[in-house]
Structures are given as structure tokens and as C-alpha cells.
A and B are shown apart, each in its own frame.
Chain A
């Protein structure tokens, strides 16, 4: 905790989330799915931290644990100066308005039987004492802020397109003027031309309201655009964390290198010349991760040491942190 610097809004240290596996007649606990296994990072106020990785690497679980939608197995999540992991329910409830979430699937996260007005005003009813008239005014203001026509308050989610629905989700997240928003793959379900609209909106809102984002995504080129720093996750661990420019121009961890080389570029000339690092095999099961480095089973340059000793998390270059023996 001594590491908490004043300007960090959120500090996560050695966060672990293990889901127990029960088996047999007596539902005996036989193991753990180590979804997140010792993750540490900090987010400064007003910053966007990108969190990338393949499906199943624990990035969404991390995002949810930060908001305590899951109770951490161990570790600390320090928001401003309080440890969210150990707050009581009522204290947590008082903290929730400060931190919000935007979900991946705008179809699934909006109640189809509630009007847009009801969806956006629900957090206001729960957490504020605004009068009904003030609430209505606030809802219209929010819809306007996210680029929706305020006259749409009485419509239902199905009357909107995917991009517009995502805007409703964003309006709801903004309702309580939060400081911190976890964006869990907010653009993954949208078409290319609509993705740009939503990303621009998020950036505008960040600038106007001084928001801090944890931006979870598997789209590396979009993360390059929106994030200030990027953390790369693999099998429940962060393997590299660096400012955008350093990570993309000079990735140090072999997994980051493979991940970046796998992203297709919309230019046939570049594509024809590119040398790809093609990873062999699949991600190991998080219930039984490899002994040494988590990436050793697929790493193209793994050595003996990598299979037995977990690599240390170290600052390789200023601001660029890597967990790899060979970097």
C-alpha cells in the first residue's frame, strides 16, 4: 500500500480471483480455475489503460473484480484511498456511483421491457434524491450528451440500432457522474463504421468530464488508438505493461510480439511481406497452468528455465514492465 502515489485513482495489487471447481456426489472441491492470478497495475486519474488478451485470459474477470462484481480471492483494489476488496456491503454501495461499467453486448445489457428513459434514470432513482422532474431533465441531458435525440426517452431498446443501444448503455453509465468506467469490449459487437462513432464519443466524454477508463478489448488496433498505456494479459497474468508507443513499436514479451504480428493490416503490400509469429497449440487450462512462465508451452524462444521458474515482473526500460526471463 505504501506504493500508492497520490495521482493514481486506482491501484490493483496482487489481485487473485480463483473460482472453485466442485466434483462428485459430495461436491468436494477438487481445484481452482485461476482466472486471475496475481495481477498488479495502477491507473492514473484521467488516463485510459487498455487491457488486451485472448478470450479466457481473465481480462473481463479483472475488470469485474475491480468493480467488485466478483469478490477477490486475495489482493487489494485501492480506489482513491480505500480498499474496495474489503469494504462492507453498505460502504461498497456508497462507493458504486463513482465507478461504472459499459458492457460488451448492448443488446443483452438493456432490459427489453424498460424504456430508454427508465433505463437511464434507474441509477438516479437508486442513488440520488432528485425529484421526478429533475430526473427527467437529467435523463434528457444525458441522452443529448451521448448523441441521442432526447425525445426518444419513451422508446424501447429494440427500436434502436446496435450503435445507438451502446450509446444508451453509455448514458446509463454516465448518469451518476462517475470518475472511473470499466469498458468491457464496448465496441466488439458493433460494425466497423459504427465502432469509430462510439470510440470518438468515449474520447469526447473523457475529455469533457475527466473520466478514467479501463478499456478491455481484444482489438489491438483500436486499443492503440484509445489507450495511454496497455497491459497484455495471458492466462490470468499480466505479461507486459507499457505506454502505447513503446508497446507497439518495441514489444518485449514474446507473447506481445506474437499477438501484434497476428493483427491483420488493411494493406495488401504490407500483408504480402509480413513475417508472422504463428503460435502453436492452444492456451493451457487456467485450472492447471504451467509451472514456470505461463506462456512457456507456446513460446517460440522458451528455454529450460522458463518451464520451472516463474519470471519476475520487472521494469525493463523506463515505464515498460515485462514478465519474461529472456526479454
Chain B
């Protein structure tokens, strides 16, 4: 289905993308810190978030609302309104360049070009007064310098790629003429338009029904194999992540509390929050649980810098140290890190 103009991977590149370990990071984020200056004080939405993404890799970012998932990803491309948002600290290395230092023009050429973004709500992120064709062709003409005819041909290709039937006829349709799932496909097509090296998908299936979600997930798996891009997939659904991610970052209170290969995370979750989160899910098979396990308490209030572990008030295993200092990420085993004092060597030694 993917035809000539789409950048397809050679066998060489594919094998490279497959064994992600050898390859260089396409995106690397170090110590990202974003705050919102509000009238009621400073909200520390993102606290020292670091992660790296290799070509062809899919990183799942999981967390509840308010855990800082979206804000950290929006910070990468400075998509937040500033003020009130302010990026205090950090480096975002893309192709060796620090995006946080980049000028507005440079950023504009990256957004929708080398870095694609899929937003959560397909209803509000497409412009209702322009046709789908126009919105698809716009980035192609700006970023790729195509003329109208080329852009049109490419737009048709993209719509076919994401599985929209009779694509050439639908270019002149407006967003309201598409169903929710179709609109999300259009969003994906726009994000893919310029062969991005990195695709950031912010809850791309949350607003969709499960059957449509399954369609989109299959599509993304397929595209990833064909085009070999790196993907950051933000979601709150632990089930979705289990199916598609290579690695997972679990966020809580604006920081990454566990960062692990997907098998390790589900086999042996090390952070108490990850464990609790996995336990809250109702059983998929076997006997029905008598009661669901719930995490008591509320998500933390992020007004003020973190001076203690943000999960301590809800944690069953919290001890003195958790209240006095915020734990850094400890390497538990190769490919798994957890921000919990229980993993610290001196704590383990003491116990």
C-alpha cells in the first residue's frame, strides 16, 4: 500500500531499528523541568524528566491525569503557552541539537516536519473550516516544498496508508463529514505527512471506542514496521501499552517513577505505584475478584518543589526516608529503573 514517495526502510535500516540498542538516540531528554506560574503560586508540573528514544523504538508513557505526561511532551517542542508555562531546566537533544535553545523559526520547521504530533481529541484538533485535503497538504507544501500537484498526490497516498477508503474523493471533505475514528486517522496522516523521525502521540485512542482503538493500534504497528520511526505513546491505559511499547515510563507527580522494558515492567513492577496501578485493574480472566484493589487517597498537589516522594502519602511501604527526600531513579537491573528508596543500596543494606 505504501508507494514510492514514502520513505521506506531498506533492509539494513530495518535491522538497525530492530536491534535498537546499537543505534544512536534520535531523541534524548535530560532533566526536563517545567513549571506553571499561576496566581496561586508555582505548579511544578514536570520534575527532572529524562528519557531517550532510539530509532524505531516505541516508548509508552503511562500515568493518571495531572501526572505531567502531556506537559512534558508539549515542553519538548515548546507547544505550551509561555507564560504561564516556563521551562526552568533541561536539554532536549534531537539530532544533536538542543531544542530548548532553538529559535522559534527552527522549531517551526521541526514541528510537523521531523517531529510529528498526534493530539488526543480528533474533534478539536482539526480545523472545521478547512477541508481535510487542505490540512494535509499544508505541511507538505511548507516543509517539503512540494507544489500543489505533488502535495495532492502525496495526500491521497497518506490517506490510503491510514486506511481511508476512496481517498482522492475525500480530500475535499470537511472534518465533520468523517467519523471519530476516521478523524483520528486523518490526524495520524497529517502527523506522518513529512516522514517524521519522531512521532509523539498524546492519548491518540482515548476518545475512541475499543474496536476503533484496535484498528488504530494495528495501523500504528504496521506503520512503525514500514517507516521505522520512533514513537512516544502517551496513555493512561496499561493494556494498550502492554501491546505496543518496547519500553515504558510510568509517571507520577510530574516525574518518571519507573522506567523499564515492557516485559520487565509487567513481570516484576518495582515501584509501589506501578504495582498498585496494575493491581487496580479488574481481572481479565478467571474468577471475579471479591473487591477491586484501590489506591487510597488523591493524586498529589504539585504546588511547590518535590521535597519528599510524591507517592509517599498513598504508599503502603512508605517509611521515614520517603518523607524526607525525593528518591532519584535507581537502576534495579539492566533495563529497569525505579524511583523508590526501597531500591537504594543503603536502604537495602539497612534492611
Residues of A within 8 A of B (CB): 54-55, 161, 163, 191-197, 199-200, 203, 218, 220-222, 224-225, 244, 248, 258-259, 261-272, 274, 276, 278-279, 282-283
Which of A194, A203, A262, A264 is packed against the most chain B CB atoms within 10 Å?
A: A264
In the bound assembly, the distance between CA atoms of A276 and B239 in angstroms comes to: 14
CB of B291 within 8 A of chain A?
yes
Q: Please, which residues of chain B bring their CB within 8 A of the CB of A267?
A: 242, 266, 284
When the two chains form the complex, which single residue of A163, A200, A263, A274 contacts B210, counting CB atoms closer than 8 Å? A263
Q: Please, which residues of chain B bring their CB within 8 A of the CB of A225?
A: 282-283, 288-289, 292
- Taking the closest CB of chain B, its distance from the CB of A235, in whole angstroms, is 13
Q: Return the chain B residue nearest A223 by Cβ.
A: B282
**With A193-B64, A195-B280: A54-B292 Cβ-Cβ less than 8 Å:** no
Q: Please, which residues of chain B bring their CB within 8 A of the CB of A192?
A: 64, 236, 238, 277, 280-281
**With A161-B298, A197-B294, A224-B282: A264-B242 Cβ-Cβ less than 8 Å:** yes
In the bound assembly, the distance between CA atoms of A221 and B291 in angstroms comes to: 14
Taking A200-B291, A221-B284 as known contacts, 20 extra A-B pairs with beta carbons closer than 8 A to each other, sorted by chain A number, are A161-B299, A191-B65, A191-B299, A195-B280, A225-B289, A244-B288, A248-B285, A258-B211, A262-B210, A263-B239, A264-B213, A264-B217, A265-B243, A266-B238, A266-B242, A266-B284, A268-B262, A274-B243, A276-B218, A278-B215
CB of B278 within 8 A of chain A?
yes
Q: Please, which residues of chain B bring their CB within 8 A of the CB of A266?
A: 238-239, 241-242, 266, 278, 281, 284
Q: How large is the interface on B (under 10, 10 to 19, 20 to 34, 35 or more residues)?
A: 35 or more
CB of B182 within 8 A of chain A?
yes
Query: Are A218 and B236 interface neighbours, CB within 8 A?
Result: no
In the bound assembly, the distance between CA atoms of A267 and B267 in angstroms comes to: 8
- Taking the closest CB of chain B, its distance from the CB of A86, in whole angstroms, is 35
In the bound assembly, the distance between CA atoms of A270 and B280 in angstroms comes to: 18
In the bound assembly, the distance between CA atoms of A220 and B285 in angstroms comes to: 12
In the bound assembly, the distance between CA atoms of A294 and B266 in angstroms comes to: 39
In the bound assembly, the distance between CA atoms of A195 and B280 in angstroms comes to: 8
- Taking the closest CB of chain B, its distance from the CB of A217, in whole angstroms, is 11
- Taking the closest CB of chain A, its distance from the CB of B335, in whole angstroms, is 13
- Taking the closest CB of chain B, its distance from the CB of A320, in whole angstroms, is 18
CB of B90 within 8 A of chain A?
no
In the bound assembly, the distance between CA atoms of A262 and B208 in angstroms comes to: 12
In the bound assembly, the distance between CA atoms of A265 and B266 in angstroms comes to: 11
Which of B213, B217, B284 is packed against the most chain A CB atoms within 10 Å?
A: B284
- What are 19 pairs between A and B in contact, CB < 8 Å? A54-B212, A161-B299, A191-B236, A193-B277, A193-B295, A194-B294, A196-B293, A197-B296, A199-B292, A200-B292, A203-B291, A218-B209, A224-B282, A259-B210, A263-B239, A264-B217, A268-B243, A278-B214, A278-B218
Ranked 9 nearest A-B pairs via Cβ: A264-B239, A196-B294, A271-B243, A262-B214, A225-B282, A54-B209, A196-B292, A193-B295, A191-B64
In the bound assembly, the distance between CA atoms of A199 and B294 in angstroms comes to: 9
In the bound assembly, the distance between CA atoms of A223 and B289 in angstroms comes to: 12
Query: Are B289 and A265 interface neighbours, CB within 8 A?
Result: no
